[in-house]
């Protein structure tokens, strides 16, 4: 879906598809340097990270293993509830593995902080975070991603995996959702 398909729902476009792809290639270059000679397991956080994970993995030049987790602290609202639930756990044993958690956005950090703690208790060799977007003003928990595409203002954004009530995930760009849509 292109921005023109939903332009009345968007205040503005923050990042185009081309900018996103360039940023993911830049992140992949750093990840490859940091994990040279190591086997990497990428863990995507469903559902939002699907686009980021797929394109980030395709930007890497070596083999990479992937697994998925689904965790939720949002329900159907626009703000995190703070209560985290595992909806789908990993199929892979991460003991002794180098794990890179891939997410599309760090908002309050509540869900990701809980997830990193949970994964760290499973004895991995390392656990790091890669996120396309981070909202520094919204952080309620200290979460330190190793790889960040962009810091953005504390606005409601959609597209490229980010949704509002399961809509807009397939928007190729990332834009600020107009308040009339979610008010």
User: So which residues are the catalytic ones?
Assistant: 107
Let me know how long the chain is.
183
Instruction: Give the other-Cβ count within 10 Å of 102's Cβ.
Output: 25
Is residue 153 helix, strand or coil? coil
Strand partners, 134: 106, 151
Is residue 98 helix, strand or coil? strand
Query: Does residue 72 contact residue 97 with C-beta atoms inside 8 Å?
Result: no
């Amino acid at each position: 879906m292109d921005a023109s398909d939903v332009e009345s729902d968007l205040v503005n476009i923050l990042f185009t598809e081309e900018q996103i792809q360039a940023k993911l290639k830049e992140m992949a270059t750093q990840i490859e340097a940091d994990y040279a000679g190591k086997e990497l397991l990428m863990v995507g956080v469903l559902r939002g990270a699907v686009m980021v994970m797929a394109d980030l993995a395709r930007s890497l030049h070596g083999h990479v293993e992937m697994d998925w987790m689904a965790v939720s602290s949002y329900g159907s609202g626009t703000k995190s509830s703070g209560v985290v639930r595992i909806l789908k756990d990993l199929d892979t044993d991460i003991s002794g593995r180098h794990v890179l958690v891939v997410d599309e956005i760090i908002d309050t950090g509540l869900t990701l902080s809980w997830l990193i703690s949970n994964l760290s208790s499973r004895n991995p060799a390392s656990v790091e975070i890669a996120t396309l977007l981070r909202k520094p003003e919204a952080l309620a928990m200290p979460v330190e991603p190793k790889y960040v595409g962009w810091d953005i203002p504390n606005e409601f954004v959609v597209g490229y995996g980010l949704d509002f009530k399961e809509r807009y995930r397939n928007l190729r760009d990332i834009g600020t959702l107009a308040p009339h849509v979610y008010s």
